[in-house]
A and B are shown apart, each in its own frame.
Chain A
Amino acid sequence: MNATLAVLMRELRLALRSGGGAGLGLAFFLIVVMLIPFGVGPVPHLLAQIAPGTLWIAALLACLLSLDRLFQADFEDGTLDILALSPMPLEGLVAIKAFAHWLTTGLPLVIAAPILGITLSLPDTAYWWLVISLAVGTPALSFLGAIGAALTVGIRRGGLLLSLLVLPLYIPTLIFGARCVAAASEGMDVVPAFQFLAGVTLFTLALTPIAAAAALRMHMR
């Protein structure tokens, strides 16, 4: 427990200090969503219609932005070798790192999303579901991203390759997350889409640490 907390606190510290990139995803999210009304035009009913999809796609891309550093920084300075020798299993380490990534990248998006919903004139009924769907869906983004980050560790400028590997895996989360918000804004039943969204997240949380740890082991050999 002590070791788990030590790793988590260290990850948060590194993300929040200079060069950690914790604010990067949030700033990107804000700017991309702010650009949409300029490109589409100030037509409230049109913006309201595309708001759920726009917010979710922007959240996906914002999450990707800082993922390539998840293991790369530790690999470059030799920390990964030492972590592999530590008493903590690599699977646990991956899970803590992905959770810390969500705390510093996903959680700020969840908090900022309702404010951005206003700029896209999202209907009143959808705000709660926007927050809930992002809160439930974004952990899957960080954990799926951990697989991509583990596979591309050691590759120079692996960020682009990471995006190509990970974005297709984000599709189920995107479909059900955006569907949740859209259903809420159209006054339809939200529950089926939400159940699928939560299911995808639970599946991801359970399996990705094992997959990412296997990829890391392969790299260290």
Chain B
Amino acid sequence: MSLNVSNLACFRTGRLIFSNQSFVIEAGEAVMLRGPNGAGKSTLLRALAGMLPSEGSVILNGIALDKDVDGVQEQIAFSGHLDAIKPQLTVGENLTFWARLFEGGSVDNAVDQFALAEIWDRPAHACSAGQKRRLGLARLVVSGRVLWLLDEPTVSLDTETTARFADIIKAHCAGGGMALIATHIELGLEGARVIALDPTNMRTATPSSDPFLSEAWE
């Protein structure tokens, strides 16, 4: 089990966001993705999840992203800037829905790990930002997916929950999982490898694969 990325490049509206990204994540490994604002961390994560068009090769457990998008996506759990929570539903209804949809890991386990029992019956609109984030991250556990792509997962979490979340990532990796985490803080994952995205390498005028956008910026 591994994620092999080679020569990945990504364009958005004809502009090159990053190029020449090559790295490997082995089973059991958590890797930090670092870079200043605008370096393309979120874009890289979305491209790996097949939610943005990209060039180059992404192979997850032997399945190539450009050949079988669904096959790759069915191994990925993604957590972005938005929590994907419905404010009208309770915490329990939100989490149970994701568990039934993904038919993956155990709900009880997620409830324990993210201390959701005390807010289980509370409508999500009455939860604080940190509680919503906890609920959003609990979705990773119930999805039962191998590769976690996390975009600033610790935003609005307190220090205690952040530490607990680092333990949850470790437990996920110890079970053979993989994680790629874009973050600015020290998560407390000792010895985690770092992939740095450097915006100074970017060229501005670039060929685009989108025929509608060619010469659009001249």
28 sample A-B contacts, Cβ–Cβ < 8 Å, listed by A number: A2-B103, A3-B101, A3-B103, A6-B96, A6-B101, A13-B88, A14-B86, A14-B89, A18-B88, A77-B85, A77-B86, A78-B82, A78-B83, A78-B84, A79-B84, A81-B80, A81-B82, A82-B78, A82-B84, A83-B101, A85-B73, A85-B76, A86-B101, A87-B74, A87-B101, A87-B103, A89-B70, A221-B52
Chain A CB within 8 A of B81 CB = yes
Chain B CB within 8 A of A157 CB = no
The answer to whether A220 and B100 touch (CB under 8 A), given A85-B73, A87-B74, is no
Residue ranges of A at the interface with B (Cβ–Cβ < 8 Å): 2-3, 5-7, 10, 13-14, 17-20, 77-79, 81-89, 220-221
Assess whether A79 is in contact with B74, with CB atoms less than 8 Å apart.
Answer: no
Q: B97's contact among A10, A18, A78, A88, by CB below 8 Å, is which?
A: A10
Q: Please give the distance in Å from B208's CB to the nearest CB on chain A.
A: 14
Assess whether B101 is in contact with A7, with CB atoms less than 8 Å apart.
Answer: yes
Residues of A within 8 Å of B93, CB to CB, are 10, 13
A5 to B97, CA, bound (A): 10
A79 to B79, CA, bound (A): 10
**Closest residue on chain B to residue A83 by CB atoms:** B101
Q: Please give the distance in Å from B136's CB to the nearest CB on chain A.
A: 8
Residue ranges of B at the interface with A (Cβ–Cβ < 8 Å): 49, 51-53, 70, 73-74, 76-78, 80-86, 88-89, 93, 96-98, 100-103, 139
Main secondary structure, interface of A, reads helix
Q: A81's contact among B78, B85, B88, B97, by CB below 8 Å, is which?
A: B78
A13 to B97, CA, bound (A): 11
Residues of A within 8 Å of B103, CB to CB, are 2-3, 87
Residues of A within 8 Å of B102, CB to CB, are 86-87
Residues of A within 8 Å of B97, CB to CB, are 6-7, 10
The answer to whether A13 and B89 touch (CB under 8 A), given A77-B82, A81-B84, A221-B53, is yes
A89 to B71, CA, bound (A): 12
Assess whether A17 is in contact with B88, with CB atoms less than 8 Å apart.
Answer: yes
Assess whether B51 is in contact with A84, with CB atoms less than 8 Å apart.
Answer: yes
Residues of B within 8 Å of A86, CB to CB, are 101-102
Among A10, A85, A89, A221, chain B packs the most CB atoms within 10 A around the CB of A85
